[in-house]
Structure 1
Amino acid sequence: MIDSLKHQWFQLATKYTKDNILTESLWIEIKTQYELNARYYHNFSHIDAMLKQAETHKETIENYNAFLFAIWYHDIIYKPTKQDNESQSAVLAKKRLKKLHLKQNTLENIEQLIISTKKHEIILDKNKDNALLLDIDLSILGSDWKTYQKYTENIRKEYRIYPSFIYNKGRKQVLEHFLQRETLFFTQPYQSKLETQARKNILKEIELL
């Protein structure tokens, strides 16, 4: 998987720069962050899954390269004890991608896409890519129960600093917030394919907390 991800990163980055040293240094930083020992879910497996889903929707994504950059950087900063991971990830993405000479409006688009993953709410109303990114990011919610259960176990490991009585309360609040939404997913393909299963999974997890 790592070799494939590195190849994909180089394919993307070298569209904007011929500086292989820069491309390599950015890759090393990305790799280092996503391979941190404390990451059990928000790691390269998550990025790989998102990139694969993005590929299947390539024809419907308005700014595909910006979409891919947003995937690469949306969880690059991830500390369970912090509340500003997404904004910090967005800041870092903008800082690093400036070196690739991306246009300012593209940088701002990537920044907003990343920030939107904090509350998983669309903040770019006229940008259909925003809805799809959020659906891809949360697609794990609509997986089969065994896969979903593994996901919940990995999330719990990332928050292992907290005792169960604190974690369970916070997790339940997050899950109930999702259930209160009219739909968990924003795009028709994800609604039709994953919505029902996602709600079943969430309800079952709440029962087990």
Structure 2
Amino acid sequence: MTVMPTEPHPATDALIDRWNVLLERCGATAAPEPYCRALLARWAEPQRRYHTTDHLLAVLDEVDLLAAHAQDPDAVRLAAWFHDAVYRPDRSENEERSARLAIRALGEAGLSAALIAEVVRLVRLTVDHHPAPGDRNGEVLCDADLAVLGRSPEAYARYTAAVRAEYAFVPEDVFRRERAAVLRQLLALPALYRTPAAHARYDGPARTNLAAELAELSKPVP
């Protein structure tokens, strides 16, 4: 279901401007703004608590910071717009459905087949956030998407609260078990971030945040 927000996000106009410039730079042959408004409506759907317009904005800003590392920064920016465009917390095919949306929307907008293929590949990469060595576009998108893990403890707490709210339908003991398993997998990675800039900025704080959350999840359920 697509629902327009009752109150527009404060950054809506700026996001539309960014999208229009991006699509024009990428060679769109159709008016880009209607596609943007449809995407923003998706990002504002009521079931979202973390995967919201704020998350989209944060990922786009982070991609801009890391853009020098990418082989095709604009492909990464397009992938950021679509990576959670379809999001239902009770379903497992969100990334694939988001990728299919990108194929349809960007094709209608007149972008090249090669660019669309790269955007779709990047969207699908966010299933596991494991780009292959040398995949510089994938490294930028994944690092931008995971940058929240390395924010301040206060920002990280807001993130975890929003994630729990998205999964409010999951019983507490099940959520704790499954979330703890995800955190252990992340902590076991030799590097949470692949780009030098993101690794230097976020890896240490992210590991501290993840370990603290894992310790909290390990406590008995109240």
Pair in the same fold by TM > 0.5? yes
Determine the C-alpha separation between the residues in 2 that align with 1:69 and 1:35: 18
Give the Cα separation in 2 of the matches to 1:185 and 1:126: 13
Counterpart residue identity of residue 72, structure 2: N
Distance 2:191 2:30 in 1: 44
Q: Tell me the CA shift for residue 174 of structure 1.
A: 0.8
Q: Any unmatched runs of 5+ in structure 1?
A: none
Q: Kindly indicate whether residue 65 of structure 2 is the aligned counterpart of residue 88 of structure 1.
A: no
**Structure 2 CA distance for aligned equivalents of residues 18 and 109 of structure 1:** 19
Match of 2:106 among 93, 97, 105: 97
What displacement does 1:101 show?
Answer: 2.1
In the alignment, the residues of structure 2 paired with residue 201 and residue 78 of structure 1 have an alpha-carbon distance, to the nearest angstrom, of: 25
TM-score, normalization by structure 1: 0.93
Are 1:11 and 2:59 matched, yes or no?
no
The residue aligned with 2:38 is: 29
Counterpart AA for 1:2:
T
Q: Which runs of 5+ in 2 are unaligned?
A: 1-10, 218-222
Which residue does the alignment assign to 2:7? none
Q: In angstroms, what is the RMSD of aligned CA positions? A: 1.4
Give the Cα separation in 2 of the matches to 1:145 and 1:9: 31
Residue 40 of structure 1: SS of its match in structure 2?
A: coil
1:126 Cα deviation after fit: 4.1
User: Scaled by the length of structure 2, what TM-score is found?
Assistant: 0.88
2:140 to 124, 132, 136: 132
Give the whole-Å Cα distance in 2 for the aligned partners of 1:50 and 1:95.
Answer: 22
1:167 aligned residue (159, 165, 175): 175
In the TM superposition, what is the alpha-carbon distance from 1:202 to its structure 2 partner? 0.5
Matches within 5 A, 1:56-95: 56-95=65-104
Structure 1: which amino acid aligns with 2:98? Answer: S
Aligned to 1:52: 61
User: How many residues matched?
Assistant: 206
What is the alpha-carbon distance in structure 2 between the residues aligned to residue 59 and residue 181 of structure 1?
24
Q: Does the 8 A contact of 2:29 with 2:110 survive in 1?
A: no
Shift of 1:18: 4.9
Q: Give percent identity, aligned residues only.
A: 26
Give the secondary-structure state (helix, strand or coil) at the position aligned to 1:138. Answer: helix
Mapping of 1:102-181 within 5 angstroms? 102-123=111-132, 125-181=133-189
Which runs of at least 4 in structure 1 moved beyond 4 Å after TM superposition? none
* 1:2 is aligned to 2:3: no
**Aligned partners of 2:199, 2:69: CA distance in 1, in Å?**
16
Structure 2 residue 193 is the aligned partner of structure 1 residue 206? no
Pairwise CA distance, 1:128: 0.8
- Per the TM alignment, residue 114 of structure 1 is displaced from its structure 2 partner at its CA by 0.7
| 1:173 Cα deviation after fit | 0.8
- Displacement after TM superposition at 1:61 (Å): 2.3
**Deviation for aligned residue 1:92:** 0.9
Q: Which amino acid aligns with 1:142?
A: G
Given the superposition, is the C-alpha separation of residues 59 and 122 from structure 1 closer, same or farther in structure 2, using an over 3 Å criterion? closer
